[in-house]
């Protein structure tokens, strides 16, 4: 059973108009969520009212979580081509070719040494080993959406009137209402 000091029930007992009924409804909501005084302090007496319906109120809840995994990645460094090795190799090859031969064959040996030295020097200079594959951790955030009940829209019947209220929990089949007198005699 839910202990609710029902201001709306007061209005029903006192036969209040719609404006007072609306004010009582707000008071009922305030009391239902725990604000104010207890039903025993606020009401002259308590009574039981039948719950007609209790409809859940849903709210969307977003729960972020991080998903991580490890993958193998090869760094892709594109280096500029260097011509220093080819130049140095060509010069060294020309010198060697020039030393090896004499006469008319010397020019051919020098040219052949320069060409071979340029090719070898270029390959040595630009053959830097490709970076080794590495294990890399990658992560991303994933938002999980779910609905949860945040309260209940309640309709209960008291004194042959249907009264609405909002409660943070399911009330069951009946609610306890606090009944009091409005506008005491002066």
- Please write the tens of the pLDDT for every residue from 67-123: 999 998 876 665 667 777 778 877 887 787 778 777 777 777 788 877 887 788 777
Largest CA distance in the chain: 139
Q: Find all residues with CB under 8 Å of 156, minimum gap 6, and list them.
A: 49, 50, 51, 52, 162, 163, 165, 171, 174, 175, 177
Q: Is 0.85 topped by the overall pTM?
A: no
Q: Find all residues with CB under 8 Å of 168, minimum gap 6, and list them.
A: 32, 33, 150, 151, 152
Average pLDDT, the chain: 74
> CA nearest 69: which of 134, 140, 143, 133?
140
């Amino acid at each position: 059973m839910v202990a609710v000091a029902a201001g709306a029930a007061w209005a029903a007992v006192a036969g209040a108009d719609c404006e007072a009924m609306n004010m009582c409804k707000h008071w009922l909501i305030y009391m239902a969520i725990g604000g104010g005084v207890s039903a025993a302090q606020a009401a002259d007496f308590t009574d039981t009212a039948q719950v007609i319906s209790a409809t859940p109120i849903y709210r969307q809840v977003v729960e972020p979580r991080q998903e991580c995994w490890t993958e193998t990645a090869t760094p892709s460094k594109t280096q500029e081509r260097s011509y220093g090795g080819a130049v140095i190799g060509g010069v060294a090859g020309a010198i060697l070719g020039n030393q090896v031969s004499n006469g008319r064959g010397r020019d051919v040996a020098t040219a052949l040494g320069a060409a071979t030295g340029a090719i070898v020097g270029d390959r040595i200079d630009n053959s830097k080993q490709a970076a080794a594959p590495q294990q890399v951790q990658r992560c991303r955030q994933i938002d999980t959406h779910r609905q949860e009940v945040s309260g209940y829209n309640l309709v209960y019947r008291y004194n042959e009137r249907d009264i609405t209220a909002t409660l943070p929990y399911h009330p069951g089949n009946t609610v306890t209402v606090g009944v009091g007198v409005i506008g005491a005699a002066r």
